[in-house]
Amino acid sequence: MAANSHSSLGEEASANKHEVALAVLVGLLVMLTISWYKRSNWSTGKGTPPLPPGPKGLPIVGYLPFLSPNLHHEFAKMANQYGPIFKLYLGSKLHIVVNSADLAKVVTGEQDESFANRDPHIAGLTASYGANDVAWQNNNANRRNLRKVLVHEVLSNKNFEASHAYRRSEVRNTIKYVHDMIGTAVDINEVSFSTVLNILTHIVWGKGFVEGAKYPDLAADIRKVVLAIVETAEGLNLSDFFPMLARFD
């Protein structure tokens, strides 16, 4: 009796496992079918919104497996095939690529209010303290105020004209420094960064960046911080393509 009982329990457990596996498989097939149906309707104009043409890609992962590191080359090829505006899915996220100067002018100029909101990736959110800057923040009152400050304090014609002599002097000093270093190794990235840092601080604060005895390597330290921020901000995580997998970032 005991042997028969254990045997029947084992068969029942095995049957339950098969039922669970079958249910999961059916669920995945249903999700893939719905996803394919929506994409198909959108691409043919039957759904909302109508989408431009683009490569099909694969279920779930989209066009991710086919992208090469040189995205600008990939997009140029796609533009030749699909036109100056096309779509592609990267994971579960839909992307619309604008690949012409005329369309870019429409998006960033004539229709700026419609396209101004951002969809920052996780690293961008981290580097900007939760999209609290001009680059990643949505188009709201705070971002508009930040843009006004940026334009008024840094990018205005008045500031550029006032700093013209200083900018020219800094560039000449940089050229002279590089010329005087003929025959020795020169880190052009570091030299150009220091030049730009001096110019920007002069425009914003009215004086160039001066390293004192207390912080003799401050420019190099700032460069390290900026490079670290850029490295963080350009990083990609799973949730950038599959939001449901954020826990694995």
Distance CA 21, CA 208 (A): 67
pLDDT in tens, 202-218: 877 776 666 555 667 77
pLDDT in tens, 111-162: 888 888 878 888 888 888 888 888 888 888 888 899 898 888 778 888 788 8
Distance CA 181, CA 18 (A): 74
Regions in the chain scoring below 50 on pLDDT? 2, 5-6, 9
Instruction: Let me know: does 85 contact 96? Beta carbons within 8 Å.
Output: yes
So what's the pLDDT on residue 168? 92
The length of the chain is 249
Query: Per the confidence metrics, is the pTM higher than 0.75?
Result: no
